[in-house]
């Protein structure tokens, strides 16, 4: 997180304060179908696909749930998970050969996904009603399942691909302007905010998680305990490949997200040729980056000026 806080420069621009993220959750009914030798805390995308496939074969129903609904956060899966795990980038590598492989993998995953996922937006609902046995979503959108039936579900890290375990920490940070009237007092406030006790108090109030090592108290809500464990494992995994939320896009943020949503709908739902779609959408993405002037963010390599679509 300290590296991310450098924003592609040599020095830190803010102090990381709290984090949230997107994780995986599963009904314990799904666990017997894990592929042989698979470790749920260190899955690959191939193993996730095999796992969901095993369930579909055994039950006759596709039980992977994906937030592809109108209010679902599917674009964050592509930007923060799939692309970093297969291309080690998001913008530069948008139309790369590695991106073609990523979308081929997404098609494989979709083949074992509950087709009603195009209506799913808060996966806690589908975990609770049994439409999904395995799910990906934001920690806050899974919380209801863990708080209602904590003994029925497990939380675990997102899967890894050829370029690491891509994940998108939603990082809140604090910074002190050089012009602050009392820098020493401001530093004392920041130090207090990073104190483990303050971090836990903030966690209780916001469902955002500590960025420093803390001993979690036993009386936290079940969703906090489950998601906190999965986040800690994901952040500490040897192949962790964290990427930031898209930044610097200004009023182009919605258009940026739409490129990924449209690519998904054309490639995965519409069955269009992957290379043709990426080459087509690449022009839209490049225009958005130029219009916003946003430099690259992790895991893309830093850029001088607008992040290029290579």
pLDDT in tens, 232-279: 899 889 999 998 899 899 999 999 999 999 999 999 999 999 999 999
Q: Is-contact 158 42, C-beta < 8 A?
A: no
Q: Is-contact 121 71, C-beta < 8 A?
A: yes
SS3 content of the chain, % helix, strand, coil (to 5): 50, 15, 35
* Rounded Cα–Cα distance for residues 66 and 49 (Å): 13
* Rounded Cα–Cα distance for residues 261 and 253 (Å): 13
Domains, the chain, with CATH or none: 1-247 (3.40.190.10)
Measured CA to CA in angstroms, residue 154 lies from 114, 119, 136 at distances of 19, 23, 12
Question: What pLDDT does 212 receive?
Answer: 86
Question: What pLDDT does 90 receive?
Answer: 98
pLDDT < 50: residue spans in the chain:
none
* Rounded Cα–Cα distance for residues 38 and 288 (Å): 40
Q: Is-contact 48 109, C-beta < 8 A?
A: yes
Query: Which of 137, 152, 292, 169 lies closest to 235 in space, CA to CA?
Result: 169
Question: What pLDDT does 92 receive?
Answer: 99
Six token digits for residue 64: 């992977």
Six token digits for residue 66: 């994906």
* Rounded Cα–Cα distance for residues 225 and 233 (Å): 12
SS3 assignment, position 208: coil
* pLDDT tens-place string over residues 144-177: 999 999 999 999 999 999 999 999 988 899 999 9
Look at the chain and count its residues.
310
pTM of the model: 0.89
* Rounded Cα–Cα distance for residues 87 and 97 (Å): 9
Q: Tally helices (H) and strands (E) across the chain.
A: 11, 9
Six token digits for residue 88: 């080690």
Measured CA to CA in angstroms, residue 251 lies from 8, 12, 76, 285, 293 at distances of 22, 26, 18, 14, 11
């Amino acid at each position: 997180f300290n590296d991310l806080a450098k924003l592609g420069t040599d020095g830190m621009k803010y102090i990381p304060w709290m984090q949230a993220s997107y994780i995986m959750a599963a009904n314990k009914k799904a666990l017997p179908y894990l592929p042989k030798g698979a470790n749920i805390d260190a899955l690959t995308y191939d193993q996730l696909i095999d796992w969901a496939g095993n369930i579909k074969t055994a039950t006759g129903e596709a039980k992977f749930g994906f937030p592809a609904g109108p209010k679902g956060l599917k674009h964050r899966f592509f930007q923060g998970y799939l692309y970093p795990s297969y291309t080690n980038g998001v913008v530069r590598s948008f139309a790369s050969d590695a991106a073609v492989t990523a979308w081929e993998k997404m098609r494989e995953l979709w083949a074992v996904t509950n087709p009603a996922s195009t209506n799913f937006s808060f996966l806690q609902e589908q975990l609770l009603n049994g439409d999904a046995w395995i799910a990906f979503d934001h920690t806050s959108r899974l919380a209801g399942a863990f708080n209602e039936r904590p003994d029925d579900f497990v939380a675990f890290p997102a899967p890894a691909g050829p370029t690491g375990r891509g994940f998108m920490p939603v990082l809140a940070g604090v910074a002190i302007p050089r012009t602050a009237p009392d820098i020493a007092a401001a530093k004392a406030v920041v130090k207090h905010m990073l104190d483990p006790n303050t971090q836990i108090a903030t966690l209780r109030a916001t469902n955002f998680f500590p960025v420093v090592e803390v001993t979690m108290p036993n009386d936290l809500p079940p969703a906090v305990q489950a998601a906190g464990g999965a986040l800690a494992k994901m952040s500490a995994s040897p192949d962790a490949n964290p990427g930031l939320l898209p930044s610097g896009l200004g009023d182009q943020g919605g258009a940026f997200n739409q490129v990924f949503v449209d690519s998904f709908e054309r490639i995965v739902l519409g069955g269009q040729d992957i290379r043709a779609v990426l080459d087509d959408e690449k022009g839209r993405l490049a225009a958005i980056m130029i219009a916003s002037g946003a430099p690259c963010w992790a895991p893309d390599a830093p850029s001088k000026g607008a992040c290029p679509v290579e």
